[in-house]
Amino acid sequence: SCSLSITVHVFSKLIMEEASPPLRCFSESHSSELFSDDGVQTVTSREQVNSNKMIKWMILPYFFRPTLLREQHYHYLKKGLRHLSDAYECLDASRPWLCYWILHSLELLEEPVPAAVASDVCQFLARCQSPTGGFSGGPCQHAHLAPTYAAVNALCILGTEEAYKVINREKLLDFLYSVKQPDGSFVMHVGGEVDVRSAYCAASVASLTNIITPTLFDGTHNWILSCQNWEGGLGGVPGLEAHGGYTFCGTAALVILGKEHMLDLKTLLRWVTSRQMRFEGGFQGRCNKLVDGCYSFWQAGLLPLLHRALFKEGDSTLSVSSWMFERKALQEYILLCCQNPGGGLLDKPGKSRDFYHTCYCLSGLSIAQHFGNKDLHNELILGRDENRLAPTHPVYNICPEKVAQAIEHFHRLPVPVQTESTPSTMDQS
């Protein structure tokens, strides 16, 4: 590894004139950020040391400006929107997710969706809508909050009258009541499991489609708050380890409910900023675990939420130019380590591409590139200007214009009245 360091050093010095702002990963001090195992080897440390080695090999060729492989990603996404290989049989109960992951990736790349395709997506998602309300993973499957979230987001990205009209708001409200629990939490589907994802999915779709009734989220914020633990982050259910995906879901749900100030924001901020990896530049999902490109969104996406929460509390010491994470380092990790040369993005070098990682790596790249909003905007684009993605809304993870447009459309409609009585206990079967 000594000769590797020298090679990296020599190459970077030779070619650096070409690159304008030098990359953090080629700086003199970068190698001091390698993981120190204190001479005590454990499973965790061996995995982390290997991860560092992989990253080191990956960054070697990148002397020149890192490039987002737009063309390649576009073709990967365009094809996937129509056809998927049998490797996707394992996602046969998540097809609205595939629609959302792909459509959101396309909107970040600012690639338009042809009207015919958009209409086909609407008709497919209509087939995924359950007669009892909500959306399922595929035609004739049971409704589930995760594909419901994905379907509503996908339809809002399309943003046409046809798309909005797909959603049966009255039945959607019935579905949400049918999965609501007495303690404020939600099960993911009738007869299914509880965790904080469900609260986010419910809050997201209910707020976008304007179906929030006075009682729908009774107790929900208190249940979510009980998921914050000794680490400062949130676990899937009370008692569990703090985890990026669940922390994002809980925090974003609380923002929607207007209760984010009830979190211990200081310990949450410390936890999430500590999840950025000093060597890799990307984020890990939990303390002492490995970096993964998808956490570029789940973790980094928390910083805009926390920034706004602290601002609302009257914090005058917040930065006016940046989210509280190393934006360049994250962009470097995504562009240098998470792109498949044939299109699509991934977890870390050595892993396969997939549409989930494509969506969340690109979403994280967008978060890192854009600070603020219309009036107080600041862009930090690593590499070529062409790497610039569209901004994304940190609560819903669709473009802000699509959020505004959907909210405007659905707020012209009255909040439906709950039509069916709800079972008060979970359906045991």
Partner 1 sequence: TSNKTRYLSHSSLFLDRKEWADLEPVPQDDGPNPVVKIAYSEKFTDVFDMFRALLQNDEKSERAFALTTEAIDLNAANYTVWHYRRVLLQALDKDLREEMKYITAIIEDQPKNYQVWHHRRMVVEWLNDPSEELQFVAEILSQDAKNYHAWQHRQWVMQEYKLWDGELEYVEELLEEDVRNNSAWNQRHFVINHTSGYSDSSILDREVQYTLKQIKKAPHNESAWNYLNGILQDGGLSSFPGLLEQVTELQDTCSSPYLTAFLVDLYEDALETNSSSYDQQEMFNKALELCKFLAEEKDTIRREYWNYVSRSLQNTYGSGDPVSASSDPPPPPSSSQLPDMEPSDP
Query: What residues are labeled active site?
Result: 243, 286, 289, 292, 294-295, 347, 354, 357
Q: CB 188 → partner 1: shortest distance, Å? A: 8
Q: CB 3 → partner 1: shortest distance, Å? A: 25
308 touches partner 1 by CB under 8 A: yes
Between the alpha carbon of residue 167 and those of residues 102, 121, 320, 406, the distances in Å are 20, 13, 39, 12
For the segment 74-93, give every residue that binds partner 1 (CB under 8 A): 80-86, 88-93
300: CB partners within 8 A, 6+ apart: 276, 283, 323, 325, 330, 364, 367, 368
- As a three-state string, the secondary structure of 102-158 is HHHHHHHCCCCCCHHHHHHHHHHHHHHECCCCCEECCCCCCECHHHHHHHHHHHHHH
For the segment 199-238, give every residue that binds partner 1 (CB under 8 A): 207, 210, 212, 229-231, 235-237
Q: What is the largest CA-CA distance in the chain?
A: 72
Closer to partner 1 by CB, 7 or 259: give it: 259
From the number of C-beta atoms within 10 Å of its C-beta (0-12, 13-18, 19+), residue 152 rates as buried
Q: DSSP readout, 245-299? A: HHHHHHHHHHHHHT-GGGS-HHHHHHHHHHTB-TTT-SBBSSTTS-B-TTHHHHT
Question: Collapsing DSSP states into helix, strand and coil, what is residue 204?
Answer: helix
412 touches partner 1 by CB under 8 A: no
299 touches partner 1 by CB under 8 A: no
Chain centre to alpha carbon of residue 427: 31
**What one-letter code names the amino acid at 259?**
K
Chain centre to alpha carbon of residue 131: 29
Candidate ranges 50-58, 164-172, 263-271, 378-386; the one touching partner 1 (CB under 8 A): 263-271
Closer to partner 1 by CB, 7 or 352: give it: 352
- Cα(94)–Cα(82) distance, integer angstroms: 15
256 touches partner 1 by CB under 8 A: yes
176 touches partner 1 by CB under 8 A: no
269 touches partner 1 by CB under 8 A: yes
144 touches partner 1 by CB under 8 A: yes
Torsion, CA 426, CA 256, CA 402, CA 110, rounded to 10: -90
Q: CB 207 → partner 1: shortest distance, Å? A: 5
Q: CB 159 → partner 1: shortest distance, Å? A: 16
For the segment 364-393, give every residue that binds partner 1 (CB under 8 A): 373-376, 393
Q: CB 94 → partner 1: shortest distance, Å? A: 7
Closer to partner 1 by CB, 9 or 411: give it: 411
From residue 313 to residue 352, what is the string marking binding to partner 1 with x (rule CB under 8 A)? --xxxxxxxxxxxx--x-----------------------
Candidate ranges 66-74, 169-177, 280-288, 293-301; the one touching partner 1 (CB under 8 A): 280-288
Closer to partner 1 by CB, 60 or 93: give it: 93
Q: Which of 66, 133, 134, 137 binds partner 1 (CB under 8 A)?
A: 137
> Which two structure tokens, joined as six digits, stand for 288?
């002492």
Candidate ranges 1-9, 11-19, 188-196, 361-369; the one touching partner 1 (CB under 8 A): 188-196
Q: How many residues bind partner 1 (CB under 8 A)?
A: 111
Torsion, CA 101, CA 305, CA 234, CA 210, rounded to 10: -60
95 touches partner 1 by CB under 8 A: yes
> Which two structure tokens, joined as six digits, stand for 4?
């590797």
Q: Are 104 and 301 in contact (CB under 8 A)?
A: no
Closer to partner 1 by CB, 11 or 378: give it: 378
3 touches partner 1 by CB under 8 A: no
